[in-house]
Structure 1
């Protein structure tokens, strides 16, 4: 018998009243288990296994990878169902759980990843700067993998001062001394946005006021990396690519090229 706290990231109906539930847990990362009877109206476990909810699960842990673990008891800790009442919040949260469903492939830092996800989802539930929280999640989780961006030192000389550019190809920074004739100096506020999100803790980041275009470009960089470098399936991300509040003009893009 094992007990673990987890975020519900997937549900599949199974037989008449059961579900196969997938969670992202503190101890095991991604974990699927058989949950008998949770589709019954009088099930004591039914609220603990709703999508996005955070619960404490007591399970009979399978000893082999070809068999599912089985739920004994689920105790709801945080009800996050109201995330689904806002279209954009629901899309952001769905992308977060799509990342959680794949992150074990490149990182084993389950507790750190879990803590970030829980804090972000709780902030989003309370409508606390939803877009910024979503970006922070994508950024901070990436830092817990071998693929994190190098935002400490100039990729060409190793110095950490006079940074003027983020290199989209190598995902690193370049200082003024090393910039070439064909490379542009990007907005200082954009480079500061990357530095702050990279270095500061969640609570400190949320105190800052960021330029919206800086956040939009940061989001584009992150999505491009997750999709094209890591090969992650981000589910409904396509719904955001033509979503007016998250798009920017060619003139804006030219400032960051």
Structure 2
């Protein structure tokens, strides 16, 4: 029986010389995988709609095993993401993080809205790194991780100076710093943004303007936290780190000139 579904392509892999296995994340049915026969052929009607990050409407047939994709209609091409190497790298990282974090055929409208809105902002040219960090912070609760970001994880205080403790899973106030000798002494701006990214409504995102030093702090804290607790290894992370290093070298050369 044929059904129409709407979703976003989060992964497409080759199967044989002409076919693809396409993984789509949908609002109603969660993560689904389909065989798209002939999709690798340039003149195939499935070629464009099976590109990664495409938001589309798909006519599919479910089976006892892998379903098949019959037709597809592009709703949003996300063309600007695919045409930009750096944007594509960030999008691939977020798609892989989602792929590794959710089970198949389990609906999660919250995650669907998060992915769709994040890709929409990315396609419009918003800061790719900050969007990725927002996505990472909001995916924590999906994975089952809940750092304490509202008060001191040890004494409950909401006043004073704070640092971020990976080991204690949240903030520590200055009175409790001695509990963790390895806590991260992040700037006030970085701590504020970590808290904001975790709690705020993404639809209310305005202009993004974050200093490079603050970005570096946020990147370090999130990376260390994921390494400690998530158990998720992402191939796209290594490629993204290489691009970030190249971008840093390029920016430094521009400053020198």
TM range, smaller chain:
0.7 to 0.9
Q: CA deviation at 1:185?
A: 5.3
Q: How does 1:166-185 map to 2 (within 5 A)?
A: 166-180=164-178
Could you tell me how far apart the structure 1 residues matched to 2:246 and 2:39 are? 40
Q: CA deviation at 1:137?
A: 1.1
* Unpaired segments ≥5 residues, structure 2: 250-257
Root-mean-square deviation over aligned CA pairs: 2.8
Question: SS in structure 1 opposite 2:6?
Answer: strand
Aligned counterpart, 1:234:
234
Question: SS in structure 2 opposite 1:150?
Answer: coil
Q: CA deviation at 1:109?
A: 6.0
Could you tell me how far apart the structure 1 residues matched to 2:144 and 2:229 are? 12
Q: How does 1:1-257 map to 2 (within 5 A)?
A: 1-15=2-16, 17-62=18-63, 64=64, 67-105=65-103, 110-180=108-178, 186-207=186-207, 209-241=209-241, 243=245, 245=247
**Contact 1:154–1:163 (8 Å) recurs in 2:** no
Aligned counterpart, 2:253:
none
1:78-136: per-residue Cα shift (whole Å, max 9, x none)? 10233233222121111111112111159x56211111111111211121122111111
Aligned counterpart, 1:254:
none
Could you tell me how far apart the structure 1 residues matched to 2:136 and 2:129 are? 11
The alignment's TM-score, normalised by the length of structure 2, stands at 0.82
The alignment's TM-score, normalised by the length of structure 1, stands at 0.82
CA pair 228-195 structure 1, distance change in 2 beyond 3 A = closer
Could you tell me how far apart the structure 1 residues matched to 2:76 and 2:209 are? 28
**Contact 1:155–1:172 (8 Å) recurs in 2:** yes
**Contact 2:166–2:228 (8 Å) recurs in 1:** no
CA pair 60-213 structure 1, distance change in 2 beyond 3 A = same
**Contact 1:240–1:246 (8 Å) recurs in 2:** no
Could you tell me how far apart the structure 1 residues matched to 2:30 and 2:84 are? 27
* Unpaired segments ≥5 residues, structure 1: 248-257
State how many pairs are aligned.
Answer: 244
CA pair 33-102 structure 1, distance change in 2 beyond 3 A = same
